Structure formats: structure tokens, C-alpha cells
Amino acid sequence: MLIVKRLAVFVGVIILLYSVYYDLNKGTLTLLHEESAETAATTEAPVTPAVREVPYVETKVSTGDTVLSLVKEAFDGPLPVSVDQVIRDFEELNGIGASEIQAGKTYKFPKYPS
């Protein structure tokens, strides 16, 4: 009985190792990727994502200002959007990272309804 259990475990380990080897070398996900690429290639008109218009105000940055501090100045209470959204909107409007702002330059800052 012990030999049968050891043989079953050995066969199970061999099957597991082979399936991992097959998945890493040939993979099953590449088949899905190829099918989706073929489907995308046969699509007649490309679908473009909708571009969201972000209202903004242009402000000159002073020493010590941050994107968040300048956007918060427009509100008495909490921001109506998350901090991550403010950063994404600023980067979308200006094409630079929020940490790359420089004093003395004018940037577009997102303007949110109160």
C-alpha cells in the first residue's frame, strides 16, 4: 500500500512539473493574446477612448507652492475629488509630473466645481 501511495505522489509531481514547464515555455496565455490581436486587426474602425475635458485655471507658481496647495486654495473645505485625481489631472493638462513644477513658471491647474 505504501508503494502505491509513493507512486501516486511521484506521478502527481511529474504531472505538476510538466504542466509548469509547458506553461512557461509554450504558455496558454499567448494563445489568448494572439486571438485578441487577430480580432483587433479585423475590426473595421478603431475605437478611440473618450478624452475627458478638465476645466483649469492658469496660475504662476511661487516658491514653496505645490500642486495640491494651489488647488486647495480654491476651496474652503475638503477637495471634491481625491488627491490622486488632482495629480492625474494636473499631469494631463501640463504634460509633466507634479513633482517637476518650477517656481516662476505658469501652469494649468485643474478647477473643480465647489
Give the pLDDT band of residue 9 (cuts 50, 70, 90): very high
Grid cell, residue 8, equals: 501516486
* 53: nearest Cα among 17, 93, 7, 88: 93
pLDDT higher than threshold 70 for residue 49: no
Question: What is the structure's pLDDT at 74?
Answer: 75
More confident residue, 34 or 13: 13
CB 76 within 8 A of CB 69: no
pLDDT higher than threshold 90 for residue 113: no
Give the pLDDT band of residue 10 (cuts 50, 70, 90): very high
Give the pLDDT band of residue 72 (cuts 50, 70, 90): confident
